[in-house]
Amino acid sequence: MAQDDLFKKLIAHAKEYGYIFQSSEIYDGLSAVYDYGQMGVELKNNIKKFWWDAMVKMNENIVGIDTAIFMHPAIWSASGHTSAFNDPLIDNKDSKKRYRADDLIEEHIQKYQTKINKDLAKGKKKFGDDFDEKQFLETNPNVLRNKAKIDDIQGRLVKALEADDLNEIKQIIIDCEIADPVSGSKNWTDVRQFNLMFETQLGSVADGASKIYLRPETAQGIFVNYLNVQKTGRMKIPFGIAQIGKAFRNEIVARQFIFRMREFEQMELQFFVKPGTEMKWFEYWKEMRIKWHKAMGLPEEKYRFHKHDKLAHYANAAYDIEFEFPFGFKELEGIHSRTDFDLSQHQKFSGKKIQYYDPESGESYVPYVVETSIGLDRTFLTILAGCLKEEELKKENGESDTRVILQIPPALAPIKLAVLPLVKKDGLPEKAREIINELKFDFICQYDEKDSIGRRYRRQDAIGTPYCITIDHQTLEDNTVTIRDRDTMKQERVQIPELAKIVEDKVSMKKLLKKIF
Ligand code: ATP
């Protein structure tokens, strides 16, 4: 399936099967805000559990918290968000469309990369087994020309962003002759900074309300509770605090479905370490996090690391884990070495001493922090994008047919099994109910008796249900059922009392965790 088509199909599929709805749809929607439906909420909860288990349950030195969305406004001054949480925006005067200026430039750079990839593919085709990719990339004149252009524009962009030089950012857009992707117009406004935090009021206006913000990241809730958790949990460095929660950003351009939302969820770990050991832990968490992603079983080549050229004001090293979404490789998770920036800032702004006393060495210090920060919604999107497939099937009569299947890893699938009586009579529905009443203590099950068994299997394939249990007339005689595997479509006859164990073995979260630990 072409990537554009795949993306359109994915969005339609997510709606049709109750995964994701546009927020406020009956009022024509609210831009870049989405609701999770009856299937979506289950998948989301399962992803959260997989992350929480991998962080908190599996690590003795990591604990979780759940902090409020509203926080004291001074926190955002201390963290730098009030002054520096900006994106450079630019408007096209003809189309009246608004863009992130750095995104326009990045997309332009991507075009040169696409040209390089095309030349590479041509070379491979032409020379077959004799093709030397390394030599080609180092010597082919077209490739070298395009590489030089990428390096030049990238270099200028990084410098301009670092220096907050908005005129230079506009100049790059002019020099590269970047046009509005919608209208083709090159009639641009100047570049302006735009703060991404949503503001609101705490208390009524008459009472002298104070301006507060909806948190743009969950991390600060962890930093300001560092002392509380360290003391009450008697935590010894190195240790981590994990949190899952909502974050809000007034994104300038919010396209690409749930990839860039104005209200989203993050899963963050702040890992506190002794100064000087942060690079060791940075490498450790890079490796652990990529293992976590790969444990889900999506194609490994869809993940890659991207090193940050421009470091955030607080970081001394940063990598992203990128995923190849239908619209290209994009950030899925950030792994940052944040130094002691945040704790030191909170120490300064709050006037409270935020330090760790090391009982072994007798020293006191402000801990350094390694952070892993992943978007829950973006992870959800990787699963939809990586698991939605259309399969050609050969029927027994030789005709071909297709089925749509959502190959979600069984441990994360919303519905673990469907229980289906072959016909709606002869006591089969009653037997099916009896089975479901037992299995529902362990798994989310679905009962379905409508339509032919083939159509019911297809419905479950499209939802992503890993197993279907069918009750037929033989069931009444020998207490056996068939269990059908979503991926292979193979059916096996098994004893009813063994069902719970068979399914548990296949859908347990432990299976995923064992791939990491
Ligand atoms: P981007 O460059 O894509 O705007 P970012 O570098 O600002 O992302 P971080 O501040 O590092 O993102 O946030 C950590 C994670 O939170 C990201 O890797 C991403 O998965 C998620 N995230 C950030 N912004 C959004 C958003 N608007 N919608 C959905 N998820 C988001």
DSSP H or E run through 372:
strand 368-375
Residue with tokens 């990491």: 516
Residue 382 Cβ contacting ligand 1 at under 6 Å = no
Residue 372, ligand 1, Cβ within 6 A: no
Name the closest-CA residue to atom 11, ligand 1.
334
Choosing from 331, 332, 381 the residue with most ligand 1 atoms within 8 A of its CB, the one to mutate for a pocket test is 331
**Assigned CATH topology for domain 86-192:** Herpes Virus-1 (3.30.40)
pTM of the model: 0.89
| Ligand 1 pocket, mutate which of 36, 51, 81, 266 (most atoms under 8 A from CB) | 266
Q: Which CATH number fits the domain 38-69+196-390, given the four candidates 1.10.3720.10, 3.30.70.3270, 3.30.930.10, 3.30.2290.10?
A: 3.30.930.10
Q: List the pLDDT tens digit at each of the 517 positions of the chain.
A: 567 788 999 999 999 999 999 999 999 999 999 999 999 999 999 999 999 999 999 999 999 999 999 999 999 999 999 988 888 999 999 998 889 999 999 999 999 999 999 998 898 888 888 888 888 899 999 999 999 999 999 999 989 988 889 999 999 999 999 999 888 999 999 999 988 999 999 887 656 668 899 999 999 999 999 999 999 999 999 999 999 999 999 998 877 999 999 999 999 999 999 999 999 999 999 999 999 999 999 999 999 999 987 787 778 899 999 999 999 999 999 999 999 999 999 999 999 999 999 988 899 999 999 999 999 999 999 999 999 999 988 877 888 888 999 999 999 999 999 999 999 999 999 999 999 999 999 999 999 999 999 999 999 999 999 999 999 999 999 999 999 999 999 999 999 999 999 999 999 999 999 999 9
Atom of ligand 1 nearest to the CA of 87: 4
266 CA from centroid of ligand 1 (Å): 8
Given a contact cutoff of 8 angstroms between Cβ atoms, the answer to whether 483 and 467 are in contact is: yes
Residue nearest to atom 13 of ligand 1 (CA): 373
Identify which of 115, 169, 121, 172 has the alpha carbon closest to the alpha carbon of residue 147.
115
What is the C-alpha separation between 330 and 328, in angstroms, rounded? 6
Asked if 86-192 and 410-513 have one fold, the answer is no
264 lines ligand 1 (CB under 6 A): yes
Q: Across-strand partners of 241?
A: 63, 270
Q: Of 200, 217, 218, which Cα lies nearest the Cα of 209?
A: 200
Spell out the residues 6+ positions from residue 315 whose beta carbon is closer than 8 angstroms to its own. Answer: 308, 336, 337, 338, 339, 341
Query: Which pLDDT score is estimated for 25?
Result: 95
**Paired sense of beta strands 303-307 and 263-273, if any:** unpaired
The residue ranges of every structural domain in the chain are 38-69+196-390, 86-192, 410-513
Phi, psi for residue 430 in degrees, rounded to 5: -65, -40
Q: Is 375 in the pocket of ligand 1 (CB under 6 A)?
A: yes
* Topology classification of domain 410-513: Rossmann fold (3.40.50)
The share of the chain scoring above pLDDT 90, in percent, equals 82
Q: Which of 178, 138, 141 is nearest to 156 (CA)?
A: 178
Task: Check pocket membership of 267 for ligand 1, CB cut-off 6 A.
Answer: no
Burial, 319: exposed, middle or buried (Cβ in 10 Å; 0-12, 13-18, 19+)? buried
Cα separation, 485 vs 460, whole angstroms:
11
**The pLDDT value given to residue 285:** 98
Atom 25 of ligand 1 has which residue's CA nearest to it?
260
Beta strand pairing call for 210-213 and 239-248: unpaired
Q: Which residues are registered as beta bridge partners of 64?
A: 242
